Structure 1
Amino acid sequence: MADIQGYIMLLIIWLVSLILVRTIFSKTRAKSRLPPSPMALPIIGHLHLLAPIPHQALHKLSTKHGALMHIRLGSVPCVVASSPEMAKEFLKTHESSFSNRPITAAVDYLTYGSADFSFAPYGPYWKFMKKICMSELLNGRMLDQFLPVRAEELRRFLKLMERKASRSEKVDVGGELVRLTNNIVSRMTMNRTCSDNEDEAEEVRKLVEATAELTGQFNLSDFIWFCKNLDLQGMKKKLKHVRDTFDSMMDKIIKEHEDARKRKDDNRVKDLLDILLDTSEDENSEMRLTSENIKAFILDIFAAGTDTSAVTIEWALSELINHPDLMEKAREEMDIVVGKKRLVKESDISNLPYLQAVVKETLRLHPTGPMIVRESSQDCTVGGYEIPAKTRLFVNVWGIGRDPNHWDNPLEFRPERFIEGGGKSQIDVRGQHFHLLPFGSGRRSCPGTTMALQVVQTSLAAVIQCFDWKVDGRDGKVDMKEGPGLTLPRAHPLMCVPILRLNPFPSSSYI
């Protein structure tokens, strides 16, 4: 509804602009050396061309205007890169000019004035937090330490599916996967299991959902200069409610952690919040973290680690249900490597190349970050075109994954392309190959890639190993339409009846 209101506002502004502005093209535009551009409208520029789903609309425009094009979203100048070559130009060759992320009104408010890590400007604070992330928060030692947590929550999810299967009960698979990933992130971050407190669990899930919705919602004040100080869509009240609720929850959790730290309980396992509190109390630290820094970072972890992993698993399962021959291949590999008497482990994944290929192919066609967004910090020249400072960059990861110049039969779901002899077996997802950028590339790539892959690959392996999935409908096919949003949600939830495949169901020998 909020998006519809936004587009209605755009229509009104456009109609007014037709009266106020008598020409579409600026004379100065012809003299500039900007990339090719579609025809723009007064005031709103190209905003009307982005509906209903921006990455799809931009991909369609790129087929006409080229792999590098210039657009104007209201008063915000932008460039769009839609090929691996152009992505490499911006994210590697000119990385120093595009190391900042643009700040929207919603992001700035929810992150306490960009006190977080994800949207902090490139500089000393961001470098310090990146170092903490890689050396303390998301390194191999910490991930190994929380292996039992991930295993326990996955086992809890599988037992729930087993109960649903015994009653032939339909399940909102995506919703339950969000619960799974939310519980994992909650326990790793704050040593709390939301499963034991359904009220708190529901509160956290709603906060994550509201944060994704508000930060992904079109906001006139971000793009139309004379709307900057106006709240025509009533977002301020929604943002205040979300931040106040998050504030209250985090103040309570931080106090509990501080009390526990005073008791010096040696048996207590340190979580990510403990490490952040250690850093904030360290007088010798090169930077002292404030409570706002800590809260904003925790919000980053929840926003980046909950919905994204769940959506990837949901898309992968949807593709396999629609391709039963590929599902069978994945199961045959699982039966050979793991067998049917125990549950798959994280340590099995390295011996399951076809499963890894399924995840890669899912990330190619359904990247949870369909566009990488940056902002230029200085004037630069890319591909022979002049890109001014403060120009917003969109790298269309979704479109690049469908580029027929680099992918055979790009719209076909075919994991075999990533298997030895398939032509793309050496391509990795960690940002070194610009044909496949689900986690970004360079200094601002996702620091949680390893953790995300562990959760996604092991969870997908388990749902393939343990269950068949029955879908309603005459042909038993899953609708693969995308919905609007930051993390590439499905237009319709994946509703399935799980059917127990392993009987008897393996016991708790998972870890």
Structure 2
Amino acid sequence: MNTPIAIFLVSFFIFLVNLIRLRNSNRNKGVSLPPGPTPWPIVGCVPEMWRNRPAYKWVHRVLKELDTDIACIKLGNVHVIPVKSPEIAREFLKKNDAVFASRPVTMATDILSSGFLTTGVVPWGGQWKKMRKVLIADVFNHSMVQWLLGKRNEEADNLVKFLYNQCSSNPNGLVVNVRTAAQFYSGGVMRRMIFNTRYFGKGRKDGGPGFEEEQHVSALLTILLHVYAFCVSDYLPWLRVFDISGHEKKVRGALKIIKQYQDPLIDERLKEWRDGRTKEPEDLLDVFISLKDAYGQPLLSGEEIKAQITELQLATVDNPFNAAEWALSEMLNQPELLKRQKKN
């Protein structure tokens, strides 16, 4: 009685293996992946990448050793395709943009977007379409840019005042950290446009950031540093519970600081609109709260508003100081350009 069952099970197992092989061969017929390092079973090249951090330097080394402009690196069950050729990059970003436009699902993006409620880090889908429409129609339009011009001008004036006070307080002159000044100018502009305030706390008399603003901007930059950084659990999800690199702890800690300052302001403003104490928008937070759907109900939930406001600040806090540093570096590299700017 047992012999026929054993024969059947063995035959079924052999049939199943052959079926899987046939399916894989048909799937890969005529298709060859770019060259890459030989992966380990299950974990792929994760151990090698982990040993050779930072990840981006290891990836560049792989491309150089393979003498290729495109490679395929298997991390867990994910095929990562790095490219260094402008022509191939254009294939990804222009010709096949619709195929590669979606964002990857990572631990950090899941946390900072409160479960993918925002726009910039959210995979393509219904929520992405909804929030993208809100930003294009109600935030990033010409009339809104003009409406917020006065707030941006106020912060530009405050930056000049702060730099003047810093220099005049020292008769021998003072070296100003451009990165720090630009960082907190960016933070001040966004706080003014979103919350209609420069400070979360009392601020400083010389126009500079207080402890609260410094902590808030530092937390934003911490998240930016980790948002798309290499994290083992993004490729081996079963390791997330161990948080091997402390990646998740850092992201959650930084987001906690951000929410500590922002969420009470947002909750209070939501209550003002519900109670009828506020009826006309004065800043971007009011604009988000005042949006209605086709049935006259609030278009965005409180969690969506909080997550999108955090993402807006993440998207804007580093660009100005990066541009300022780049411009200064170029002028130092080109003395003639620096000389012309001094004359102006």
Provide the TM-score with structure 1 as the length reference. 0.53
Residue 354 of structure 1 is matched in structure 2 by: none
CA distance in 1, matches of 2:323, 2:52: 24
Which of 1 and 2 has greater Rg?
2
Whether 2:183 is the aligned partner of 1:178: answer yes
Deviation at 1:213, TM superposition (A): 3.4
Whether 2:325 is the aligned partner of 1:314: answer yes
CA distance in 2, matches of 1:65, 1:72: 18
Aligned residues of 2:36 and 2:62 also touching (Cα < 8 A): no
Question: Compared with structure 1, are the counterparts of its residues 316 and 83 closer, same or farther at alpha carbon in structure 2 (3 Å cutoff)?
Answer: same
Q: 1 or 2, which has the higher strand percentage?
A: 1
Residue 106 of structure 2 is matched in structure 1 by: 104
Question: Compared with structure 1, are the counterparts of its residues 49 and 244 closer, same or farther at alpha carbon in structure 2 (3 Å cutoff)?
Answer: closer
Alignment of 1:66-465 (within 5 A): 66-166=68-168, 167=170, 168-194=173-199, 197=203, 198-224=210-236, 226-261=238-273, 262-264=276-278, 270-279=282-291, 281-282=292-293, 284=295, 288-330=299-341, 335=344
Aligned residues of 2:119 and 2:308 also touching (Cα < 8 A): yes
- Give the root-mean-square deviation of aligned CA atoms: 3.2
Instruction: Give secondary structure in 2 for the equivalent of 1:171.
Output: coil
Deviations along 1:76-100, one digit per CA (max 9) or x if unpaired, are 2111232232222222322222121
In structure 2, the gaps of 5 or more residues are 1-23, 204-209
CA distance in 2, matches of 1:285, 1:72: 49
Question: Compared with structure 1, are the counterparts of its residues 251 and 52 closer, same or farther at alpha carbon in structure 2 (3 Å cutoff)?
Answer: closer
Question: Compared with structure 1, are the counterparts of its residues 285 and 326 closer, same or farther at alpha carbon in structure 2 (3 Å cutoff)?
Answer: farther
CA distance in 1, matches of 2:184, 2:74: 39
Residue 53 of structure 2 is matched in structure 1 by: 51
Aligned residues of 2:178 and 2:321 also touching (Cα < 8 A): no
Question: Compared with structure 1, are the counterparts of its residues 102 and 214 closer, same or farther at alpha carbon in structure 2 (3 Å cutoff)?
Answer: same
Question: Compared with structure 1, are the counterparts of its residues 284 and 229 closer, same or farther at alpha carbon in structure 2 (3 Å cutoff)?
Answer: same
CA distance in 1, matches of 2:278, 2:228: 42
Instruction: Give secondary structure in 2 for the equivalent of 1:72.
Output: strand
In structure 1, the gaps of 5 or more residues are 1-26, 336-511
Aligned residues of 1:164 and 1:170 also touching (Cα < 8 A): no
Q: 1 or 2, which has the higher helix percentage?
A: 2
Instruction: Give secondary structure in 1 for the equivalent of 2:242.
Output: coil
Percent identical across equivalent pairs?
A: 27
Aligned residues of 2:216 and 2:257 also touching (Cα < 8 A): no
Aligned residues of 2:220 and 2:258 also touching (Cα < 8 A): no
User: Which one scores higher on RCO, CA 8 angstroms, separation ≥ 6?
Assistant: 1
CA distance in 1, matches of 2:227, 2:217: 16
Deviation at 1:225, TM superposition (A): 5.0
Provide the TM-score with structure 2 as the length reference. 0.76
Aligned residues of 2:186 and 2:320 also touching (Cα < 8 A): yes
CA distance in 2, matches of 1:86, 1:256: 50
CA distance in 1, matches of 2:293, 2:263: 20
Question: Compared with structure 1, are the counterparts of its residues 50 and 303 closer, same or farther at alpha carbon in structure 2 (3 Å cutoff)?
Answer: farther
Question: Compared with structure 1, are the counterparts of its residues 155 and 60 closer, same or farther at alpha carbon in structure 2 (3 Å cutoff)?
Answer: farther
Aligned residues of 1:68 and 1:82 also touching (Cα < 8 A): yes
